[in-house]
Structure 1
Amino acid sequence: MTYCLGIKVREGLVAIADTRITSGTDTTVKKKVYVDQREQHSIFIMTSGLRSVRDKAVIYFKELIDEGTEYNKLYKAVNAFGEQVRRVGREDRAALEQSGFKFNLTTIIGGQLRDDEEHKMFLLYSEGNWVEMDEGSPFVIIGNSGHGKPILQRTLHNDSSMELALKTGFLSFDSTRAAANDVDFPIDVVLYRKNSFNLIQHRYEKQDLENISAQWACELKKSLQNISNDWMQTAFDKMNTYKTQANEV
């Protein structure tokens, strides 16, 4: 499974991707983020799904750019990548399905190109269609998404800082890692500040962040202890009454 998270706030973009690849009992580490940084052209692509489909679609898309194809707005690049996914589908879907594999690739694409008025982020489906992330949906997770959503939903909004977005994003990943054995370190982080046309990449190993993970676990326990018990008393009073009555019988 995969954990890829994209966050769009007013200040910029934050992307986090784990690197674990599981095949049967074997696990390997492979990068799940493709970055293309050129003059007034900043784009990152994160994927969840069949690795073979991902690699082929990314190579086809990279070839277009290397041969001189230019996109002035990010949605046009998203359309182009979607067409490469469909191309791979035309070439490989039948063979994959005959072998028992579902043709599957979900993609987060973010960045800013020359004529974009601001940074953008899109969720692209296997069929090549997409939706754009906006103020009402400041984040999207692909892959193993269930465990990491609550903290993001409770914390993030459009005016959140990039620092808070990265902190919350890591804790979301950490919650997923703790609950799923197919998501793990290292994690790749991509940061993009609005109108900078400069993508920053950084990889965190487990030893870099295990103290933050331990601190978060400790803070959670403290917070739980600080929550009032008064609201529970009625229920426990009923239980104690039932226990007393049962002893008297």
Structure 2
Amino acid sequence: MTYCLGIKVRSGLVAIADTRITSGTETATAKKISIHENGRNSLFLMTSGLRSIRDKAVTYFEELFEDESFKFDKMYKAVNMFGEQLRRVAQEDKRALAESGMFFNLYAIVGGQLENDKEHMLYLLYPEGNWIEVGEGSPFTIIGNSGYGKPILNRALNYESSLRFAFKTGFLSFDSTRVSANDVGYPIDVALYPRDSYKLQQHRLEEKDTAQIGQMWASKLKNSIDEIPETWMDAFLNKE
């Protein structure tokens, strides 16, 4: 399993991905975000699913993205092209994978801004190569282990949140997932895109970098529960 989160707020984009890969009893670390920049074209890709599908599809896409004969001037065109690469890999490998008992299950989050986009864009791409755009009404999407991290995002985040608040909330969402799922863990890769900058900022965070924040979050969460009044429970807890 994995945890990849993409957030779109008015001021930019946030991408957070863990790097843990678990196979049986073996655990390894691998990058799940790829950055693609070419002039005033800047985007990121995050994936969840079979590593062999991911590596092949991203390699095909990167080759086309860097080819001067291909003109990507809007995000939807780049997303369509990555979808085509997914379908290409499916034609090449899906049958063999099925015969080996494995599913063609690559999901992707694609975000960025290309030279003719009026604003930054965020998309969720399905294994079939089709996609949906992430918009103002629900400004985030998660692939992988999504159950533990959604509640804080649903309660706290909206499209008008600042980029800093979005990153902070996104990290707490990851931290909530990490403490509840042993197949999600450090280090985490982060990509930040300030609106109209045409430049992605990349960072890798180890557990030691954020341990204090995780501990503070756990403590404040417990204290908040302690502070909630308990009189509403009296009617049924005091029954004899």
Could you tell me which residue of structure 2 aligns to residue 124 of structure 1? 125
How many positions carry a matched residue from both structures?
Answer: 239
Larger radius of gyration: 1
How far, CA to CA, are the matches of 2:36 and 2:182 in structure 1?
A: 31
Tell me the amino acid that sits aligned with residue 18 of structure 1.
Answer: D
Could you tell me which residue of structure 2 aligns to residue 18 of structure 1? 18
Could you tell me which residue of structure 1 aligns to residue 5 of structure 2? 5
Tell me the amino acid that sits aligned with residue 63 of structure 1.
Answer: E
Could you tell me which residue of structure 2 aligns to residue 232 of structure 1? 233
Could you tell me which residue of structure 1 aligns to residue 89 of structure 2? 88
- What is the DSSP-based 3-state SS (H/G/I as helix, E as strand, rest coil) of the residue aligned with 1:179? coil
Structure 1, unaligned stretches of length 5 or more? 242-249
Could you tell me which residue of structure 1 aligns to residue 48 of structure 2? 48
Contact preservation (8 Å) 2:38, 2:66: no
Runs of 4+ in 1 over 3 A off after TM superposition: none
- What is the DSSP-based 3-state SS (H/G/I as helix, E as strand, rest coil) of the residue aligned with 2:83? helix
Tell me the amino acid that sits aligned with residue 32 of structure 1.
Answer: K
Structure 2, unaligned stretches of length 5 or more? none
> Equivalences for 1:97-108 in 2 at 5 Å?
97-108=98-109
Tell me the amino acid that sits aligned with residue 54 of structure 2.
Answer: R
Provide the alpha-carbon RMSD of the alignment: 0.6
How far, CA to CA, are the matches of 2:66 and 2:164 in structure 1?
A: 33
Deviations 1:157-195 (A, max 9, x none): 010001111111011001100111000000000000111
Contact preservation (8 Å) 2:20, 2:30: yes
How far, CA to CA, are the matches of 1:177 and 1:3 in structure 2?
A: 9
Tell me the amino acid that sits aligned with residue 149 of structure 2.
Answer: G
> Equivalences for 1:29-178 in 2 at 5 Å?
29-68=29-68, 69-178=70-179
Aligned-pair CA distance for 1:37: 1.7
How far, CA to CA, are the matches of 1:70 and 1:4 in structure 2?
A: 28
How far, CA to CA, are the matches of 1:207 and 1:70 in structure 2?
A: 42
Deviations 1:187-209 (A, max 9, x none): 00000011110100000000000
Q: Among all aligned residue pairs of Structure 1 and Structure 2, give the percentage whose two residues are the same amino acid.
A: 59
Could you tell me which residue of structure 2 aligns to residue 195 of structure 1? 196
Q: Which has the higher helix share?
A: 1
Tell me the amino acid that sits aligned with residue 19 of structure 2.
Answer: T
Q: Normalised by the size of structure 1, how large is the TM-score? A: 0.95
How far, CA to CA, are the matches of 2:180 and 2:114 in structure 1?
A: 37
Q: For structure 1, which segment, 178-187 or 61-70, has the greater mean C-alpha deviation from structure 2 after superposition?
A: 61-70
Aligned-pair CA distance for 1:67: 2.4
Aligned-pair CA distance for 1:38: 2.2
Tell me the amino acid that sits aligned with residue 207 of structure 1.
Answer: K
Tell me the amino acid that sits aligned with residue 8 of structure 1.
Answer: K
Tell me the amino acid that sits aligned with residue 198 of structure 1.
Answer: K
Aligned-pair CA distance for 1:211: 0.6
Note if 1:213 corresponds to 2:214: yes
